């Protein structure tokens, strides 16, 4: 998946059923199917389907544009490095806050409140 996609999630049984039917009928638009969610190719036709879902189901569907994450572009280096270091830790049972304490790795609470650039 190297291009942006539309994420459509169903929040009611009729919406879920309609999503399922649409996936079967338009599988060329579907990038991936999950239980109640589907990723559509970001084309006018994908948007056409997404808009139809919104018209029919209102709040019972959620439509988002999503894009692939390039951590080398979108994620601060210290965060990336902390993730790599933590995954390479010697003791698997060490929780991250303990692992990060007393090192240069970022504090988990500070990361929680820091938005990624360009996101909310």
- Chain residues binding another protein by CB under 8 A are 9, 11-13, 16, 36, 54, 58-60, 62
Least distance from C-beta 63 to another protein, angstroms?
Answer: 10
Q: Which is nearer to another protein, 27 or 120 (CB)?
A: 120
Least distance from C-beta 113 to another protein, angstroms?
Answer: 17
Least distance from C-beta 56 to another protein, angstroms?
Answer: 12
| String of DSSP letters for the chain | --S-EEEEEE-SHHHHHHHHHHHHHTTTTEEEE-SSEEEEESSHHHHHHHHHHHHHHGGGEEEEEE----HHHHS-HHHHHHHHHHHT-S-TT--HHHHHTTSSSPPHHHHHHSPPTT--
């Amino acid at each position: 998946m190297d291009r942006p996609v539309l994420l459509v999630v169903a929040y009611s049984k009729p919406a879920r059923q309609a999503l399922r039917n649409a996936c079967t009928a338009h599988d060329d638009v579907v990038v991936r199917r999950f239980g109640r969610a589907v990723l559509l190719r970001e084309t006018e036709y994908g948007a056409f389907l997404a808009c139809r879902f919104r018209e029919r189901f209102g709040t019972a569907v959620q439509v988002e544009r999503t894009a692939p994450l390039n951590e080398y572009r979108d994620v601060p280096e210290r965060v990336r490095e902390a993730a790599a270091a933590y995954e390479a830790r010697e003791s698997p049972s060490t929780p991250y806050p303990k692992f990060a304490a007393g090192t240069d790795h970022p504090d988990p609470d500070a990361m929680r409140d820091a938005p990624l650039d360009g996101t909310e």
